[in-house]
Amino acid sequence: MKSPWYTYSVSYKWLKTASNSGKTYDLDSIAERRLYYQEKVGPEIEFLRDYFRKNTFLAYWLAPKQAGKGTYMNGLKEIFGMDMFTHISVGDVVRAADVEFQEKGKKSEVYRYAKQNYRGDLYLEEAFDALTGRSTKDLVPTELVMSFLRLAIQKNEKKTLFIDGFPRNLDQVSYSLFFRELVNYRNDPDLFILINAPLAVLDERMKQRRTCSKCGNARNMALLPTKEVGYDAEKKEYYLICDLTGCKGGRMVTKEGDYLGIETIKDRVLLDLDVMKRARKLYGIPKIELYNSLEKEKALEYSDKYEFTAACWYQHDAQGKVTITKKPWEVKDGNKKYFSLLPAAVVTQLVKQLARVLGYK
């Protein structure tokens, strides 16, 4: 990453000081995470379980790419159950609508539904031309995207919704104020979940990402290695060997462009950050602020050492056998140094603030 085109900062008012109970947990273990969550946010979990049995709400994920939306969503599902929430990716919804329309045209469900519900500046046919790329002068109208989203929501059983990918740009931020009415989602509470992370963290996640060429499994060379790591003497580099159940141990590789880091998606990241900034200014909708990393000098006031992300260093012997050494991952952003937090630690932030927003005292 070249110049610091964004400076990360932490608002500690959203964080709770460390419990300092003396206990430690292996946050890579599901069983240990359950004990960890119970200690850290047990009362909030019980409150939310009771709330979820009787109520639903609407939440928008707002974060730059690589910030961990899917990971934190999975953390919530691990605590409360897979069937408690519906996670809808707007990008996936739009791509599916595009495929369906190109296959079935005006007989497709998405077209027929839009014909009844779409209202916008472009004629319906022009809007679908923008969707399929036949028109390069017009962007896909937000109103058409919302039509697809509304249809997708109606297909889901009545549950709490987590929307990923909306609002996508500054023009869509104001739509979020009225979104629950537009999708007929009763009078449920709605809220923004904003994920804050140093760009250095996002950059390293992208540069060190490795993908299995056989099964598509993704891991991270520096932060989330597989059980088996190899050494290529010819290339003088280490590599991960896929350990996903059912895969025959494919060698994991760097996706094209990943080695360049987030400089390649700078415009997208800056737009995401602008959307977050705009959302913070909206009156009348609660905001949850999650922080991926804490300042090195303050980190132990608000977290325990075992909650820090560990970075991996590799060594090999004459036979090529690889050993891994881990230590807390320290990142520099601007003039400050930070320790990155493991996903479970950020999920506890989410649980605490979600409970507060929904009425926990």
pLDDT at residue number 1 = 55
127 in any annotated domain: no
In this structure, what CATH number is given to the domain that contains residue 222? 3.40.50
Q: Considering the domain boundaries, does residue 301 fall inside one?
A: yes
**Local structure of 2: helix, strand or coil:** coil
Tell whether 104 is covered by a domain. no
Per-residue pLDDT at 261: 87
Q: Is residue 28 part of a domain?
A: yes
In this predicted structure, what is the pLDDT of residue 184?
A: 61
Angle at 138 between CA 135 and CA 142, to 5 degrees: 125
- Give the burial class of 283: count Cβ atoms within 10 A of its Cβ; 0-12 exposed, 13-18 middle, 19 or more buried: exposed
Cα angle for residues 243, 306, 199 (degrees, 5° grid): 75
Q: How far is CA 153 from CA 3, 303, 338, in A?
A: 41, 37, 39
CB 360 within 8 A of CB 352: no
DSSP state of 85: E
pLDDT number for residue 183: 60
pTM summary value: 0.86
pLDDT of 283 reads 85
Per-residue CA distances from 59 to 67, 154, 210, 216, 321 (Å): 17, 16, 31, 29, 47
Secondary structure, 3-state, 193-256: EEEECCHHHHHHHHHCEEEECCCCCEEECCCECCCEEEEECCCCEEEEECCCCCCCCCEEECCC
Structure token digits, residue 162: 């987590």
Q: Give the C-alpha separation, 349 to 361, whole Å.
A: 16
Contact indicator for 303, 350 with CB cutoff of 8 Å? no
Ramachandran region, residue 164 (left: φ > 0; alpha: ψ -120 to 50; beta: rest): beta
User: Does a structural domain hold residue 109?
Assistant: no
Which residues are bridge partners to 209 per DSSP? Answer: 220
Residue 310 in any domain: the answer is yes
The per-residue b/e assignment along 69-93, b for 16 or more CB within 10 angstroms, e otherwise, is: beebbebbeebbeeebbbbbbbeeb
CA gap 81, 75 in Å, rounded: 10
Structural domain total, the chain: 1
Q: Which domain holds residue 267?
A: 12-84+159-357
* Helix/strand/coil percentages in the chain, nearest 5: 45, 20, 35
Q: What is the mean pLDDT of each run of 10 residues along the chain (361 residues)?
A: 73 78 87 94 95 89 87 91 84 91 92 89 88 71 86 80 81 68 68 93 90 85 89 92 82 87 87 90 90 94 93 91 92 91 95 94 80
User: What pLDDT shows up at residue 257?
Assistant: 84
Asked if the structure places residue 114 within a domain, the reply is: no
Q: Is the dihedral of CA 256, 258, 261, 265 positive or negative?
A: positive
Domain assignment present for residue 194? The answer is: yes
